[in-house]
């Protein structure tokens, strides 16, 4: 399978003050020499304890932050050397769905404007095209056109996450980063959102980077799993390799936590 991304030796440090009363700064390495590829059309799960660097890696891939060193190639090209035009295309084709649907939607905007915004930002001027795409996408997440005039506070958590997903999908991206997309939702709503995401992936041939603490969920949906520990990639394998034959104590510990919950 062809690689969509190649992440090569990516490290990221953040400077932090050693005390509230001193100017002294130290480097904290949130990512240490991480190399992995993301294959076209796969669901790659990123797991690891809180603080292990999962969101930092996602933010590097989306160019929200720049790695301290290392390269990220998208279809063979270094994303930090993109021209303005290439950057614009990249921004449209890679989208993010956050953990918290309560804070990720602008509370002052109506749903129709929330959904139309990416189209407008990317230069769509035709009102009828915008209307058609907004109607299309709201129905695809099983909400209705009557929801478009409402504000985010008028929806439940699960419905808000559907709106956030619709917003991420409206530009027809080929790649989605899902950073704990269902961890703020209750279990039955979780399943609906996950099924919706799986359906979209199949229908639109997408590739997902799926970040989660929930190894049960990861087992259900992912093709391969990458395990991060303190900023280092400690293990990467197919779902079966990781679950049937984990190589590191850390992975075994993460898996044993799953079994404890069951």
Ligand X SMILES: Nc1ncnc2c1ncn2[C@@H]1O[C@H](COP(=O)(O)OP(=O)(O)OP(=O)(O)O)[C@@H](O)[C@H]1O
Query: Can you give the binding site for Mg ion, defined by CB under 5 A?
Result: 55
Binding partner of 76, given ligand X, Mg ion, none, CB within 5-8 angstroms per partner class = none
Q: Where is 247: in which H helix or E strand? A: none
Of residues 13-32, which lie at the interface with ligand X (CB under 6 A)? 14, 30
Window 150-179: contact mask with ligand X (x via CB under 6 A): ------------------------------
Applying CB under 6 A, does 122 fall inside the site for ligand X? no
Quote the radius of gyration of the chain (alpha carbons, Å): 19
How is residue 29 annotated by DSSP? E
- Within 37-96, the residues that bind ligand X by CB under 6 A are 48, 50-56
Which of 55, 140 has the CB closer to ligand X?
A: 55
Buried/exposed code over 186-223 (b: 16+ C-beta within 10 A; e: otherwise)? eeebbeebbebbeebbeeeebbbbbbbbbbebbbebbe
For residue 201, the minimal CB distance to Mg ion (Å) is: 21
Q: Which is nearer to Mg ion, 55 or 207 (CB)?
A: 55
159 versus 161: smaller Cβ distance to Mg ion: 161
Closest CB 179 distance from Mg ion, rounded Å: 6
Binding at 30: pick from Mg ion, ligand X, none (beta carbon under 5-8 Å per type): ligand X
Closer by beta carbon to ligand X, 1 or else 20: 20
* Cβ-defined contacts of 104-107 (< 8 Å, 24+): 104/164, 105/152, 105/160, 105/163, 105/164, 105/167, 106/152, 107/151, 107/152, 107/153
Positive or negative torsion for Cα 191, 196, 202, 208? negative
Minimum distance from CB of 220 to ligand X (Å)?
Answer: 19
Distance, CA of 206 to CA of 83 (rounded, Å): 24
Give contact residues for ligand X (rule: CB under 6 A): 14, 30, 48, 50-56
């Amino acid at each position: 399978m062809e690689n969509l991304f190649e992440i090569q030796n990516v490290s990221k440090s953040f400077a932090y003050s050693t005390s509230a009363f001193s100017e002294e700064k130290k480097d904290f390495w949130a990512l240490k020499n991480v190399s992995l590829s993301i294959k076209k059309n796969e669901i790659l799960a990123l797991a690891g304890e809180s603080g292990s660097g999962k969101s930092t890696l996602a933010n590097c891939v989306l160019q929200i932050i720049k790695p301290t060193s290392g390269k990220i190639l998208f279809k063979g090209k270094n994303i930090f050397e993109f021209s303005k035009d290439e950057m614009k295309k990249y921004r449209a084709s890679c989208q993010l769905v956050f953990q918290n649907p309560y804070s990720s939607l602008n509370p002052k905007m109506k749903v129709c404007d929330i959904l139309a915004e990416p189209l407008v930002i990317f230069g769509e001027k035709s009102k009828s095209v915008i209307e058609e795409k907004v109607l299309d996408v709201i129905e695809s997440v099983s909400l209705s056109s009557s929801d478009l005039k409402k504000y985010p506070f008028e929806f439940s958590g699960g419905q808000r996450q559907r709106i956030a997903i619709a917003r991420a999908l409206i530009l027809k991206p080929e790649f989605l980063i899902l950073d704990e997309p269902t961890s703020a939702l209750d279990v039955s709503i979780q399943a609906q959102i996950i099924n919706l995401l799986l359906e979209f992936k199949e229908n639109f041939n997408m590739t997902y980077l799926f970040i989660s603490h929930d190894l049960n969920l990861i087992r259900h949906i992912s093709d391969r799993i990458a395990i991060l520990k303190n900023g280092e990639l400690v293990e990467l394998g197919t779902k079966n390799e990781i679950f049937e034959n984990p190589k590191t104590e850390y992975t075994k510990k993460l898996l044993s936590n799953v079994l404890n919950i069951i």
